[in-house]
Chains A and B, each alone.
Chain A
Amino acid sequence: MLAVQHLKVAYGPTEVLRDVSFDVPEGKIVALLGGNGSGKTTVLNALTGLVRPRAGSVRLKGEECAGKRPDEIIRAGIAQVPQGRDVWPSMTVAENLELGAVTRRDRAAIAEDLEAVYDLFPQLREKRKRRAGSLSGGEQQMVAIGRALMTRPRCLLMDEPSAGLAPAVVGDMVDAVLELNRRNLTILIVEQNVGVAAAVAEYAHVLQNGEIAVSGPADGLLDDPAVLRSYLGR
């Protein structure tokens, strides 16, 4: 589904990603892990066009996305749920979600997708007229996910969806990610929380110093004490 090959990103003279290659197979959940500053968020930003890669290719079902504008990449089918929930606080929940579909013209399908988001997160239906900034952290995360779903992505990128959430809510978030996958969505999830990654992902890649250091099935990899110690500081 998503094939990343030899991706390089640099800010000025500083190379942040040196040579990153990995695949996200259709219908799977893949985790991207790594310590602070290993370049995880930069990978996502390069995939969605927020930063322009210096070299390499990003193919979504064969369509080249590297170097395109964010709106073009979103139309191609990649959406990102940003870290830190980044909702539009002064706008209502419904406005946040509706603006997610700003690149689309298929009104009937947009209305269907909005219903699907409300079915997935019933709290949002109740609070749709509330300002997004007044919601709890977990609810804002739901808005951010719902807004990304409104772009009707084929591949969803999630940047640390569990960060900053109360432990009780993290479980709900894991359930939501699994439910989205059951609805046939391919997901790339960036996580600091190895437990969350292990709970959802089938494959995992560990990023270190701008390169993929190890890859493998999530079960074996994230149980391996050597991997946890060397790459993830556990």
Chain B
Amino acid sequence: MLFSYLLVSGITTGALYALIALGIVIVNKASGVINFAHGELLMVAGFVAWTLHVGLQLPYGVALLGTVAIGFAVGVLTDRIAFRPLANADLVSLVLATVGLSFILKGTARLIWGGKADYLSFPPLTQAEPILLGPLMIIPQQLVVTAGALAVMIAFAAFFRLTTAGKMMQATADNAKAAKLVGIRTDRVYMMAFAVGSLIAAAAAVLMAPLTLLYPDMGFLLFVKGFAAAVVGGLTSLPGAVLGGILVGVVESLAGGYIHSSAMEVAPFLVIMAVLIVRPTGLLDFAKVRRV
């Protein structure tokens, strides 16, 4: 019973880590940059969702759509303000710009949503009573979150496979020079990558909010988990990011249940080390040279 409970809750958090990892991977694929502000984008989106849902009493679905739209806009804006002016600078400057952005977002969140010690809670979406499915004990909330994460992933895969915008992003990631030579505006593609990455962070935040408390410093830890998942998956592979997320979530949950709750924070790094020893390029990344 304990195992199945830990497994299900591990998959749930893993699905959220997978979403965070997807956002990191999509930005990295397009631009070669690891966005160190990804966790802060998530945190801000969590607060925005709280304002819409708790503050303005909008229904959860509306708050979700609103937050996702605002997340997209924040991505566009950060590209314009922080990254576009650095388009011809080296990669290190861009990475530092993301670090700077993370501080700005954290400061802004403190200004708007209160001091450091404020932990805002998000109301649960469903009843708290667990459902028993044979040997599995499932909390309805987890089911909603996992289904939501899955829906976002499917929408995301469809975007890449079926839309011209998605294909333009794929082409730019594959070979930016060739993309320019057919007339793809690669500067717009990079903006799109930041915007979509930020949008996914927002979706993850809204799904996660009912399971956790919101505070301005929550971003970095979530970024680390997502980054771990992305590295495990190979940093440029979207399916790898999903697999890595689930793996990190499950290992973390099992470590917390069977060893000690303090082991939860260490577990993702043990996963990274183990994977990198066995497959230095990540689980699903084949023969690609890493840029950062």
Per a CB cutoff under 8 Å, which of A75, A80, A89, A101 touches B181? A80
Q: How large is the interface on A (under 10, 10 to 19, 20 to 34, 35 or more residues)?
A: 20 to 34
Q: Who on chain B is nearest to A83 by CB?
A: B177
**Shortest beta-carbon distance, A70 to chain B, in Å?**
5
The DSSP consensus for interface residues of chain A is: loop
The DSSP consensus for interface residues of chain B is: helix
Judge if A90 is at the interface, Cβ distance under 8 Å: yes
Total interface residues in chain B, CB < 8 Å: 16
Asked if residues A87 and B175 are in contact (CB atoms below 8 Å), the reply is yes
Question: Which of A59-67, A147-155, A171-179, A218-226 lies at the binding interface?
Answer: A147-155
- Number of inter-chain CB pairs below 8 Å: 66
Q: Who on chain B is nearest to A75 by CB?
A: B183
Per a CB cutoff under 8 Å, which of B171, B174, B175, B182 touches A103? B182
Per a CB cutoff under 8 Å, which of B177, B183, B184, B185 touches A86? B177
Question: Which of B162-170, B202-210, B275-283 lies at the binding interface?
Answer: B162-170
Judge if A19 is at the interface, Cβ distance under 8 Å: no
Q: Who on chain B is nearest to A103 by CB?
A: B183
A109 to B174, CA, bound (A): 27
Most buried by A among B168, B171, B182: B182
Asked if residues B177 and A88 are in contact (CB atoms below 8 Å), the reply is no
A70 to B180, CA, bound (A): 6
Judge if A120 is at the interface, Cβ distance under 8 Å: no
Within 8 A of B (CB), among A33-67: 48, 50
Q: Could you write out 13 A-B pairs with CB less than 8 Å apart?
A: A69-B185, A70-B180, A74-B182, A75-B183, A88-B171, A88-B174, A88-B179, A90-B170, A99-B182, A102-B182, A102-B183, A147-B178, A148-B181
Binding site for A on B (CB under 8 A): 164, 167-168, 170-171, 174-175, 177-185
